[in-house]
Structure 1
């Protein structure tokens, strides 16, 4: 069980990381093609993708809600703990991607 939790954590981290990095870079190309400043668009796009990266990493909100329901109603605390850890790992992936853009661009993405 523990090995599967670690695998899920690593996958969620990198899925969230990839959503931010990929979405920002592709969105930046679109901004360039439309004549907008690409670096300014990078900050805006990265900020707007944060919550969607977490949702994509955990596989949608309905699975998370059903796992919390199992944890509360059925007394399965491991399912609740697992879901919380996976959400935290996804948030870590988002933060790591934002830090990467802060390092590359020299400005803080808030």
Structure 2
């Protein structure tokens, strides 16, 4: 596992984190401008944006699934495990963003 692997893991984490945080913050501003309850809307958005943050971070689900299939069928288990690490990294970034939003607005876990 070289530098490229760790660079991709870090980028996937931070991209997913940024999608959740940015989407929730701008969604909260939109809820405020629409005279809605921003805190409630922000909690809902954080949960709804998790999957989209993961998809954005890994570059699309179909390509990732195809890569895993090719590497497993080709006998390259090491590459398949790397792809799974990228997915886990993106999930952790999206989940961290959701936890941070809940913490900032003192929402329920």
Which bin holds the TM-score, normalised by the shorter protein? Answer: over 0.9
SS in 2 for 1:50: helix
1:58 corresponds in structure 2 to 58
Q: Gapped runs of 5+ residues in structure 2?
A: none
Following superposition, the deviation at residue 49 of structure 1 comes to 0.4
CA RMSD of aligned residues (A): 1.1
Contact kept? 1:70, 1:79, Cα under 8 Å: no
- Which ranges of structure 1 fall in alignment gaps of 5 or more residues? none
CA distance in 1, matches of 2:32, 2:102: 20
Look up the match of 1:103: 103
For residues 26-105 of structure 1, the aligned pairs below 5 Å read: 26-105=26-105
1:78 CA displacement: 2.0
- Distance, in Å, in 1 between the alignment partners of 2:98 and 2:61 is 22
- TM-score scaled by structure 1? 0.93
Q: Structure 1 segments of 4 or more deviating over 6 A?
A: none
